[in-house]
Structure 1
Amino acid sequence: MKHFCLLLLLFIFPSYIWANQFAYFLNNTDHKPYRIDLAKKEIARLDSNSNWVFYHRLTTDSTYRPDFMKTAEFTVLQKKNTNRIHIFQECTNQMYVVDLTSFQLERKDDTYYRGDNCSAYRFFRGDVVFSIGGYGFWRSNNHLIYFDKKTKEWEATNSKGQAPEGMYHGFVSFLPEKDMLVSFSNYSTDVSQDYGRLTLDQSIYQFSFFTKTWEKIGEITHPIFKQILEEYTYENRHHLFYTGKYFVFEPSSNKNGIHKYYFVNPRTLEIFEYNDLELKYARIALGASQPLNPSIFKNGPWLLTVLQNPNPNSSDSVLLINFDDLAKNATFIGLLTDLPWYKTDWFYGLILVLLVVVLIFVMKRIKPIRTKKAVNLTLMQEVKLDIDPISLRLLKSILDNQNQGGLAIEEVNQILDLENLAFDTQRYRRSAMINQVNQTLTLLTGEKNSIIRENSDEDRRQKRYKINPNCLELLRRKVSI
């Protein structure tokens, strides 16, 4: 008979025997840890000796049908200013609600299948419960879903824009005053891609509930913090929590020595670092807490840890911390979007200033040369016009006829007294005398040829002698003196 009863119990109540059935929470009123037994329908409270002590029975109705996975884990949300506890079973999003005033226990959903909600981020938007991201069916997802109270099912929210590839063990926060989500440093994975390797996306995204649009607003470029997030492993991210104002986590180096905590404000993207130099919180180990037997309990900014090795000189067995208050003593170390020094605006500005300095230096080196040329030109212009009477008469005649096209060859020959010579002799003597005049005028005008020979406008076969336009005004002034 005993064996028969035992077998009957094994068949009738297998989930009660094999499945985890405990949901833990830190009450936001008395800041004490509680444990809800969803199978036995009772609440226990942790006493000063770290023992779970019966606190109150829970009542249910005939519709209460729990369905627990063998490795069930539960996430608990307690909305501010209420006595209602929302309990979500990971990977299925089954939802249970406990009223701490009437001590009623209800299952709110009609979910009957395993979902893709493992490690999803859940939050209240008004009175509606939302869930985003998670893992299931061998891949991560970026689905934004909400619980429909009428159908008692989870429904999808349609959206557009550039959403993260996956939202799994990342930083996700809902900002009620802006009615938007902010998310960054998310993992994604899919067994059909790259053998299911976890890929870390260091982009920053936001989602507007008003426009139902995703937008990529930047990259995590802070040179030190980006590396910290890369070393903040997938396993450690189980212990990341959001206070409602800051993301809080401890780096992988928090194993020995002085503990550090990092705070990230998703509204401003500011990063703060807290060093526990006085070792006040050295006995807190976020990574030591296990989901099925937790030693750390969180609710909003409050964190309570059960001290494993309490101080013999103190009767305290727990430590309660408000991490929003702790962040006030943290040091600002930059923004998520801070660039390395060699990519910053001030570095580019410094390069620009150096280029300007070099340009000014070069210009100063060139300026004296130009000044020297100007001085030499002035000196040349001060030289007196000292040429023989025949050359002077030729120069005046050309100047007088400059506007009429200059002097013809016959007129030049007449002025130079060459008209009675043979043709070849005329050409030779004429050329020699004009070259001599040009050499003399070079000291005055700076031009190699002050008298030039051009084709006639009326008959291009004829040549006429004119004054170089570059020194025309100078020669007119000198000749008129």
Structure 2
Amino acid sequence: MKKRYAIFFTILSLSTFAFGQVHKGFQWISPDHSLFKIDINSGILSQDAPNKLKLELGKIQDWESIKSELPGDFGVNAFYQADSLLITIPGTGQIYSLDLPNLKLNRLDQTFFRGYNFNASQFFRKDTLFSIGGEGFWLKHSIITYYNPQTSEWAFYKLQKDNKHPSKNKFSGYSKEQDAFFSSFLEVDENLKNNKVPFRVYSFKNDSWEEKGFLSNPIIDFAKNNYRTIWTGKYLFLIFDNSDSKYYIAEPFENVLFEHKSTNDQFYLNNSELYFRNGKIFSRSMASPGKIDKLYFDSLSVDSLVNQSSIIGQVYGYNDFRNRNIGIALTTLLMLTASFLYYRKRKNLKMEDYTLTEVELLVVKKFINQTIGIKISSIELNNLLEISTKTYDNQRQIRYRIIGAINQKLRRDLDSKDLIFRSSNIEDKRMMDYYINPDIKAKDLEKLMKSLNL
């Protein structure tokens, strides 16, 4: 057993993956191509490696407690970074690290609200885990968030220019080389019928979204069928379900669309697990000749597949997008005028929008008058808010809502910083402690006190 763990971590230390592997249920593929799976009911972790017998490694510690936090139907993203494994559950904000030798899943986040980012694109950029877009609460969006390990929370990433079009993991991806993220939302019937699906790129260097044009007709027609995609960091493979005769390969940043004709009748089966690793696409599926299950496992070089493909056009077209600029130019003056009038109207409302309620002022006064570095416990905050008799969940929701509102309203006075931080209580991890952001300078607190007449 120890030898098997040593081999696993040796392989693990040689591999780093920036893009999550999307898998249904609590399962993922390791650097040595083993399929690890946690049985939801029993909590048993198993390892199924190619050309080896399936192994049961044991039951995850405290599985019943972990299981109670899981949604009913979910998939996970797995990220191997240096010598660690992070597992996220999109739609929940939950992040776990796996201690394999001790069969322990450690939850890293303190997420409470969930459900806004199912099918989001998640990836690592410069050692930071990002999540873009997704859907939930009857909304589809392109919100960018990142995980802050210092606060154990997901935070909003500030943008100079928002994207009004939704983003989803099926047709999107981050390029380390370009330091940019591309996205098109191919799930809207009206857009597909009208062949008007915007193709947009977010540049981390320029800190803004840019609309490049509209997706080309071959991709629009392709998206009207059931399909799967694989993002390699440079190429997006678009594979038809129920068809292994051909598929498309898109190079979104160079704007080149390839068509590849396949001769492999088993590699792209519907039940196959397809994923990218170290310059290759791997296919893994269970075949059942007779009564004996057999694992099919194969790989194809991405560069070879591209070289064997034919260029058939562009990922997106410019013409329609550029023609729109004529209309935009003609209406610029009108828009500026309308914006100015709107600004004047909103100017008088700004102070009202950012005015603290009596309860919020009471909380702020409590924190500002507190000795620097001293934390306020959940119990103290409950007493201050007079919510001690409410249920534990209600207490947590009320505290979360009030602290969030205070931070949001005071950011413009504190150079976009949150006033109040929170962390787990050292003695009781179930409880939270609250404290003034140590990055806020004393002179800024003094200015804040004067502006609030405290």
Q: Is the 8 A contact 2:287 2:294 kept in 1?
A: no
Alignment map for 1:131-142 (pairs within 5 Å): 131-142=131-142
SS of residue in 2 equivalent to 1:160: coil
Q: Which residue of 1 aligns with 2:225?
A: 232
Q: Is the 8 A contact 2:212 2:318 kept in 1?
A: no
Q: Which residue of 1 aligns with 2:309?
A: 330
Q: Which residue of 2 aligns with 1:305?
A: 284
Unaligned runs of 5+ in 2: 1-22, 323-454
User: Deviations for 1:19-51, whole angstroms, at most 9, x for unmatched residues?
Assistant: x994222222x2222214577555311256898
- Mapped to 2, the partners of 1:273 and 1:228 lie a distance apart of 14
Distance 1:117 1:199, change over 3 A: farther
Alignment map for 1:144-293 (pairs within 5 Å): 144-161=144-161, 163-168=163-168, 170-187=170-187, 202-221=197-216, 223=217, 225-233=218-226, 236=227, 239-252=228-241, 254-255=242-243, 259-276=245-262, 279-280=263-264, 282-285=265-268, 288-289=270-271
Q: Which residue of 1 aligns with 2:87?
A: 87
Higher relative contact order (CA 8 A, sep 6+): 1
Among the aligned pairs, what percent are the same residue? 21
Runs of 4+ off more than 6 Å: 60-65, 197-200
Distance 1:47 1:32, change over 3 A: closer
Distance 1:21 1:210, change over 3 A: closer
User: How many Å apart are 1:163 and its aligned residue?
Assistant: 1.5
| Letter matched to residue 69 of structure 1 | P
SS of residue in 1 equivalent to 2:287: coil
Q: Is the 8 A contact 1:21 1:39 kept in 2?
A: no
User: Deviations for 1:82-105, whole angstroms, at most 9, x for unmatched residues?
Assistant: 242222223212111224577552
| Letter matched to residue 260 of structure 1 | K
SS of residue in 1 equivalent to 2:116: coil
User: Deviations for 1:222-281, whole angstroms, at most 9, x for unmatched residues?
Assistant: x4x234334234xx3xx32212221112125x44xx5212111123121121111xx32x
Q: Which residue of 2 aligns with 1:296?
A: 273
1:321 to 299, 316, 319: 299
SS of residue in 2 equivalent to 1:240: strand
User: How many Å apart are 1:157 and its aligned residue?
Assistant: 1.0
SS of residue in 1 equivalent to 2:109: coil
Alignment map for 1:378-393 (pairs within 5 Å): none
- Mapped to 1, the partners of 2:194 and 2:157 lie a distance apart of 25
User: How many Å apart are 1:320 and its aligned residue?
Assistant: 2.0
Q: Which residue of 1 aligns with 2:34?
A: 32
SS of residue in 1 equivalent to 2:240: coil
1:74 to 69, 73, 76: 76
Q: Is the 8 A contact 2:179 2:205 kept in 1?
A: yes
| Alignment RMSD (CA, Å) | 3.9
- Mapped to 2, the partners of 1:73 and 1:40 lie a distance apart of 18
Q: Is the 8 A contact 2:75 2:90 kept in 1?
A: yes
Q: Is the 8 A contact 2:199 2:316 kept in 1?
A: no
- Mapped to 2, the partners of 1:199 and 1:60 lie a distance apart of 52
- Mapped to 2, the partners of 1:64 and 1:172 lie a distance apart of 31
- Mapped to 1, the partners of 2:171 and 2:24 lie a distance apart of 28
- Mapped to 1, the partners of 2:194 and 2:151 lie a distance apart of 36
SS of residue in 2 equivalent to 1:106: strand
- Mapped to 2, the partners of 1:200 and 1:85 lie a distance apart of 41
User: Deviations for 1:281-331, whole angstroms, at most 9, x for unmatched residues?
Assistant: x12445x33xxxxx515244432321425599x996312223514333222
Q: TM-score w.r.t. structure 1 length?
A: 0.53
User: How many Å apart are 1:143 and its aligned residue?
Assistant: 0.4
Distance 1:273 1:55, change over 3 A: farther
User: How many Å apart are 1:160 and its aligned residue?
Assistant: 3.1
Q: TM-score w.r.t. structure 2 length?
A: 0.55
Q: Is the 8 A contact 1:38 1:66 kept in 2?
A: no
Unaligned runs of 5+ in 1: 1-19, 290-294, 344-481
SS of residue in 2 equivalent to 1:327: helix
SS of residue in 1 equivalent to 2:249: strand
User: Deviations for 1:323-357, whole angstroms, at most 9, x for unmatched residues?
Assistant: 514333222222223589xx9xxxxxxxxxxxxxx
Alignment map for 1:329-408 (pairs within 5 Å): 329-337=308-316
User: How many Å apart are 1:156 and its aligned residue?
Assistant: 0.8
Distance 1:52 1:179, change over 3 A: same
Distance 1:107 1:140, change over 3 A: same
